[in-house]
Amino acid sequence: MLKVGVIGCGYWGPNLIRNFVQLNESDVVRVADLDPDRLKHMQSLYPGIQTTSDYHDIVSDPEIDIVAVATPVQTHFVFAREALLSNKHVFIEKPIAASVKEVKELIGLAQKNRCKLMVGHTFEYTAAVRKMKEIIDSGELGKIYYISSQRLNLGLFQQDINVLWDLAPHDISIILYLLECEPESVTAIGSSHINPAIEDVAILTMRFPDNLIAFVQTSWLDPDKVRKMTVVGSKKMMVYDDVQPSEKIRVYDKGVELPQHYDTFAEFHYSYKYGDIIIPKIEGGEPLRTELKHFIDCIKNDKTPISDGQSGLRVVRILEAAQNSIEKTNNNVIPVIRNGDEIKLHKV
């Protein structure tokens, strides 16, 4: 039975606690938070769990095997670092840390102390995203031309990070998981309307090898809740609509074909293909449960987590490049952050 300590029981922490409690191979022994009301509420739900306002009670508790961190991103590094120094396995909510530098240090520490380090890229553990990967890997879609993703809704505004850091980690981690490669360049355009220091609307563009492009549109200011990703391939197209309760993925037998050769410009014609649409059945189950079971399995059997520190690093590298692009935008240009810049983006 792995003993878990959870730091942070605000928005997402309670889900971690519930799942660690319900899994047969783990148990939550202590929860830390600065807000006594949250601690009290946790204790009312799980009378057997101890609470503390001092995270040291968790990272230094020799009984604890796993430290799970569900706090604002700026604090991830400190908590995770101390936990790793105390030889705990560490699970951190996405994004794994606030900078490439921080992530690299955590990865190094985990390697050195032979601890498992995993980031909560939950979507990589959903049946829908796995089905998408299965379809892409089968070659059914042909060559992938582009991916366009939208993650929009009204709130929840963050006070310390912009909308890209808040929402785009989901889309980025899904896209990297699907494509198994990293972008060659990153550009971002952002705009602030509520808090002048924090972008609340932003579009991220990633250029991948082989002319593949991906757009991620994020907003905290949209009246509709949208979570939609379109994957356009040379043979078929696929839409993942996560707002749908059951029909999350649609595969369209649609495409465009350019004839191999043509003599004159006037003869230049495209042929369109319009065929059936298939909505594959997606198995249910709570992704967070799958994710945490996977973490426990990696600990018990010394495996590398799918969303390990390197996976977290790839996402933060893109977020940092995007942030850079937004900040360096001047009157004349929007910078493209790419290979050769201080932020290295390269193929996996």
By the criterion CB under 8 A, which residues form the site for a second copy? 22, 44-45, 47-48, 145-146, 148, 154-155, 157, 159, 185, 187, 189, 191-195, 201, 203, 205, 211, 213, 215, 217, 219-224, 230, 232, 234, 237-239, 245, 247, 250, 252-254, 256, 258, 265, 268, 270, 272, 274-281, 329, 331-336, 338
The backbone torsions φ and ψ at residue 217, rounded to the nearest 5 degrees and listed phi first, read -105, 125
Residue 348, exposed/middle/buried by CB under 10 A (0-12, 13-18, 19+)? Answer: exposed
Q: Please spell the DSSP secondary structure of 179-245, one letter per residue.
A: H-S--SEEEEEEE-SSSTTS-SEEEEEEEETTTEEEEEEEESEEEEEEEEEEEEESS-EEEEETTSS
Q: How far is the CB of 154 from a second copy (least distance, A)?
A: 5
331 to 196, 296, 326, 327, 334: CA distances (angstroms): 18, 50, 12, 12, 8
Torsion of CA 241, 150, 127, 176, to 10 degrees: 150
Q: Which is nearer to a second copy, 60 or 157 (by Cβ)?
A: 157
Closest approach, Cβ 187 to a second copy, in A, equals 6
Q: How far apart are CA 120 and CA 100, in angstroms?
A: 17
CB 110 within 8 A of CB 177: no
Q: Which is nearer to a second copy, 128 or 201 (CB)?
A: 201
Cβ proximity to a second copy: between 63 and 267 the closer is 267
| Distance of closest approach, residue 314 Cβ to a second copy, in angstroms | 21
Q: Which tokens in the block code for residue 36?
A: 């006594």
Least distance CB 75 / a second copy (angstroms):
13
Bridge partner residues of 206 (DSSP): 186, 214
Task: For a second copy, give the closer residue by CB, 62 or 274.
Answer: 274
CB of 98 to a second copy, least distance (A): 16
State which residue, 62 or 223, has the beta carbon closest to a second copy: 223
Q: Would you say 193 or 346 has its CB closer to a second copy?
A: 193
Question: Minimum CB separation from a second copy for residue 191, in Å?
Answer: 4
Closest to a second copy by CB, 62 or 245: 245
**Smallest separation, CB 49 to a second copy (Å):** 12
Q: How far apart are CA 203 and CA 218, in angstroms?
A: 6
